[in-house]
Amino acid sequence: MANGNTVTLIGNLTREPEMRFTPSGAGQAILGLAVSRRYQDKSGEWKEESGFYNIVCWRDLAENVQSLSKGTRVIVTGSLQWRQWQTEAGEKKTVIEVLADEVGPSLRWARAEVQRNERKGPGGGYDGGSGGGGASRPTGGPAAGAGAPTGGGYDDFGEEPF
């Protein structure tokens, strides 16, 4: 990422991926991710803390994460995205989420069977793993770093969040 705003999270999916499509047909999936941390406090007692994150996936990545299910342990790499919008009632809302570049199952305690997608036509997205296509960001979408609001709408497609 050009802006240096990179985050990697490892956790469990809290719900089934939710797929949506923009009016132009771009696929978007929202994942819920729980990240837990277990540690010993000063007294030696074990403590556990959990954080919950919304993960946003676009286009081919959005369609591919549909193969994951609630409870699956995944590794997510992406950037933090800060969005602000105003409801119809005039209330200002703000959310911080992760705009995913990569999502994959964790193989620490599980196995996975990888199925490559077929190549699409010229300029058509996913390239079967050579690393060139299948961008997870919408073209002209919210590529700005954290702290850069996208205005009153959800993204460049003028949609509000889920």
Q: Can you say how many angstroms the Cα of residue 46 is from the centroid of all Cα atoms in its chain?
A: 30
pTM here is 0.66
Which residues are CB-contacts of 81 (< 8 A; sequence separation ≥ 6)? 56, 96, 97, 98, 99, 142, 146
Percent of residues, the chain, with pLDDT higher than 70: 71
Q: Tell me whether residue 55 is exposed, middle or buried, using C-beta atoms within 10 angstroms of its C-beta: 0 to 12, 13 to 18, 19 or more.
A: buried
- C-alpha–C-alpha distance, residues 157 and 123, integer Å: 21
Give the total number of structural domains in the chain: 1
Q: Tell me whether residue 78 is exposed, middle or buried, using C-beta atoms within 10 angstroms of its C-beta: 0 to 12, 13 to 18, 19 or more.
A: buried
Query: pLDDT at residue 151 above 70?
Result: no
Span 84-89, average pLDDT: 93
Percent of residues, the chain, with pLDDT higher than 90: 59
Which structural domain range is residue 134 located in?
1-162
